[in-house]
Structure 1
């Protein structure tokens, strides 16, 4: 089976290529990667209407995740100096190995490079995500059970 770094490399290579789908099978394990195919954004504008009753404007806008900026510049600089632990894949974020167990980490938890910080479930496979940095968890950016995207920040860490 591929390790997490090999999977990350595969994702990056496929993302940079013209390949839309990729399947890898080995010894009973299977990985399927599919790119999202962007659908065109359609915009319909109403024509000027003479009557007093106007028809609504119909708009379909493709939304991308927006991260809010902190209110003041000090907070913005503090966030820039923190290490982000990101999701290596698209999947569902789980803070613990099962619902009746404490989360792997919480705000204030001391971590090392090999500390498991969460699980991302993708295609019925539960992938333990390691911190890859030594420090302290400052902020948890996602909720338990939330869908996450490839590269989405999950935790902010004050690195040592």
Structure 2
């Protein structure tokens, strides 16, 4: 496994924007550990001897600053109405990391469109995670005002998927 500097930067950036605390990638001659603790530390080692031989190599370190997220910051990051939107809108957020789908199958119509009325318990989309299709149900009744995510787009935990005007 080979990683370019740009790929390593992308991994560090993705980790800093997620709620994952540690990521480990291993192959026969490569090991990468990324850990959040106020900073992300990546170490890499290269195997120069065949498996079974005991060799200890010093691992170079790459340190990139990651903003710490305190309890109050995490609470204030809860979805609020977007700028320029009425504050009475309710966010429909992703409960997990996965892939967003607007319809139950590619040849079927979307669960909801802008302007549709929804009721609690009504399916509004699917989030695919680890090959499992998870229907996301509405928690409020109201009208879909905006859909923020394109079909088949990856989504993060807590990402706002759509805005609903309750009522």
2:139 is matched with 132
Structure 1: runs of 5 or more not aligned: 1-14, 22-35, 43-59, 64-68
Aligned to 1:84: 91
1:19-77 Cα distance to aligned partner (Å, 9 max, x none): 869xxxxxxxxxxxxxx8446389xxxxxxxxxxxxxxxxx7879xxxxx64xxxx24x
Tell me the TM-score normalised to structure 2 length: 0.53
User: Is the contact between residue 41 and residue 61 of structure 1 (CA under 8 Å) also seen in structure 2?
Assistant: no
User: C-alpha separation between the residues in 2 aligned to 1:155 and 1:62?
Assistant: 28
2:35 touches 2:41 (CA, 8 Å); kept in 1?
no
* Pairing 1:148–2:155 present: yes
The change in CA–CA distance for 1:140 and 1:40 in structure 2 (over 3 A counts) is same
RMSD of aligned C-alpha atoms? 3.1
Map of 2:40 onto structure 1: 40
Residue in 2 that maps onto 1:114: 121
Query: Does structure 2 conserve the Cα–Cα contact (< 8 Å) formed by 1:41 and 1:62?
Result: no
Residue 105 of structure 1 aligns to a residue whose secondary structure is coil
Alpha-carbon distance change, 92 to 61 in structure 1, aligned in 2, over 3 angstroms: farther
